[in-house]
């Protein structure tokens, strides 16, 4: 029976035309067979590499998107009542008033408004909030009223309060962790009759920062 180079018995049905062609060459030209098989292997490796590179590029884009989102939501502020050379007092008043802290140590994300004293939550998450109050009655025997209230959306959360005639000066600090939602308003309220005193030593401070986001 004469040899027919076009006859390829027992070929798998899923072989590509190029693979069939290579096998036929291997049957007729052994010298070219190794080169053809190497070219096929290179082609398969190139295809695999391109697919892997595309997947890596997609993952890189996703990672960069998440990182940019985290950077955009960074939030931290720390402010003091004043930065005056001499000791000045805020209050007392006949009605409740929000305390406007004028001296800014840091305002990352611009969430704190130095004009009205309100911190607007930029992103839902758990926040650490700290408040320190200090007051000076001026002389022994005068009434001391060092008090303030930490508020979220106008509702009292916590606040130090010291009213007596035994101390000339006093201070207190509170620290809380709260789950806040984007858009919440955080501020410090000065109750009726209370007053706070400060200078460049920064006895009265208000600080907050995002611990971790939850949205």
| Each residue's pLDDT tens digit, 161-199 | 776 666 767 888 999 999 999 999 999 999 998 889 999
pLDDT at 66 over 70: no
| Tally of domains within the chain | 2
- Would 120 be classed as within a structural domain? yes
Q: Is the pLDDT of residue 55 over 70?
A: yes
The reported pLDDT for the residue numbered 139 is 64
Say how far residue 199 (Cα) sits from the centre of its chain.
32
Residue 11: inside a domain, yes or no? no
Beta-carbon contacts of 76 under 8 Å, excluding residues fewer than 6 positions away, are 106, 108, 109, 208, 209, 210
* CATH number of 180's domain: 2.60.120.40
**Closest-CA residue to 18 (of 48, 43, 50, 47):** 43
Q: Highest mean pLDDT: which of 23-32, 37-46, 176-185?
A: 176-185
Structure tokens at 148: 């303030």
**Boundary (domain end) residue, out of 26, 51, 71:** 71
d(CA 33, CA 109): 66
Percent pLDDT > 90 in the chain is 47
pLDDT 10s digits, 83-133: 999 999 998 899 999 999 999 999 999 999 999 999 999 999 999 999 999
Strands in 82-202 per DSSP E: 88-90, 97-98, 103-108, 119-120, 125-136, 144-147, 149-152, 155-158, 161-164, 169-180, 185-190, 196-198
For residue 33, the model assigns a pLDDT of 65
Domain containing residue 178? 74-213
Predicted TM-score (pTM) above 0.85: no
Q: What is the pLDDT of residue 146?
A: 80
């Amino acid at each position: 029976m004469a040899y027919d180079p076009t006859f390829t018995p027992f070929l798998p049905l899923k072989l590509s035309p190029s693979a069939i062609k290579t096998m036929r060459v291997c049957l007729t030209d052994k010298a070219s067979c190794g080169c053809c098989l190497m070219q096929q292997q290179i082609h398969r490796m190139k295809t695999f590499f391109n697919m892997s590179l595309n997947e890596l590029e997609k993952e890189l884009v996703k990672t960069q998107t998440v990182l940019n989102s985290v950077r955009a939501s960074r939030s931290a502020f720390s402010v003091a009542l004043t930065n005056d050379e001499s000791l000045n007092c805020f209050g007392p008043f006949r009605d409740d008033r929000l305390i406007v802290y004028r001296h800014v140590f840091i305002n990352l994300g611009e969430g704190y408004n130095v004009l009205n004293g309100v911190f607007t939550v930029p992103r839902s998450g758990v926040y650490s909030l700290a408040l320190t109050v200090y007051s000076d009655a001026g002389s022994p025997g005068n009434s001391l009223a060092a008090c303030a209230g930490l508020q979220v959306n106008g509702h009292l959360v916590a606040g130090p309060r010291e009213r007596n005639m035994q101390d000339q000066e006093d201070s207190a600090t509170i620290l809380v962790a709260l789950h806040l939602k984007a858009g919440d308003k955080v501020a410090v309220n000065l109750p009726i009759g209370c007053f706070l005193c400060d200078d460049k030593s920064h006895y009265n401070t208000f600080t907050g920062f995002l611990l971790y986001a939850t949205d």
